[in-house]
Amino acid sequence: MELRSIWHWAKSRSANRFVYDDLDLIGPGADKLTIDGDNQNRQFVFQANEDIGLTFLIQGLRLTGGKSPSSGGAIYALRNRLVVRDCHFEGNQSPQAAGAIFANNMTAHVLHSSFVDNEAAGNGGAIGGFNASLELVGITASGDQSGQHGGAVHSRITDGNVVRLTTIEGSTFVGNFAPIGADFVIRPNAGLDGNAETDGFPQSMP
């Protein structure tokens, strides 16, 4: 998508932006272009009825002030593949799970991005996954908070028929808060095997 179209999206605050097909949304840099939810809406919904190999890419943007009616204060993504690279998320909030990004039944890669002061009433102050594979590389999370599990990151696996992997590598967590797991919680349902690769971090799997 060209910069002029991204700028139009950035200025449009009246509704969620729904995407149902492949998308490369590449901005000029998180310090140069902000998409502000104005504490009224989340910024993006990436959704497809079937898992058909779509990729939703968002890069080089700053997403602030997202306020969703459900999970994912800035981004809600369902099925297929989400890639978030070189983005900054600040001051987004959800009344359920994931103050910034919620990945539902999919694979999500969050690369070299930062999360500051995002908040969820439920699990995952910044990032939440439900039956999702999460790859978090080079992220920074500070001041994020949740009302339940995982002040910064929460991943929940309930489907024993899929293999999901959570990887956290080269990342920094500072000053996040939750009643259980200030930084992150990886939580398979009882009876399911949990596998978390965290590059030296302690694993939290209650």
DSSP class of residue 7?
H
CB atoms within 10 A of CB 163: 10
Question: And the tokens for 4?
Answer: 């002029």
Q: What are phi and psi of 121, to 5 degrees?
A: -70, -30
| pLDDT for residue 192 is more than 60 | no
Residue 196 has a pLDDT of 45
Of the pLDDT bands very low, low, confident and very high (cuts 50, 70, 90), residue 189 is low
| H or E element at residue 61 | none
State the average pLDDT for the chain: 83
pTM, to two decimals = 0.85
Greater pLDDT, 164 or 66: 66
Of the pLDDT bands very low, low, confident and very high (cuts 50, 70, 90), residue 46 is confident
Altogether, the residues listed in the chain come to a count of 206
Nearest to 106 by CA among 125, 127, 88, 85: 127
Quick: pLDDT tens for 76-124. Answer: 998 889 999 999 999 999 999 999 999 999 999 999 999 999 999 999 9
**Kindly report the CA angle at 34 between 42 and 68, in degrees rounded to 5?**
10
**Spatial contact of 118 and 100, defined as CB atoms under 8 Å apart:** yes
Sketch the domain layout of the chain as residue ranges. 3-197
Mean pLDDT of 56-82: 92
| H or E element at residue 6 | helix 3-11
| pLDDT for residue 178 is more than 70 | yes
Q: Quickly list DSSP for 71-100.
A: S-SSEEEESSEEEEES-EEES-EESSS-SS
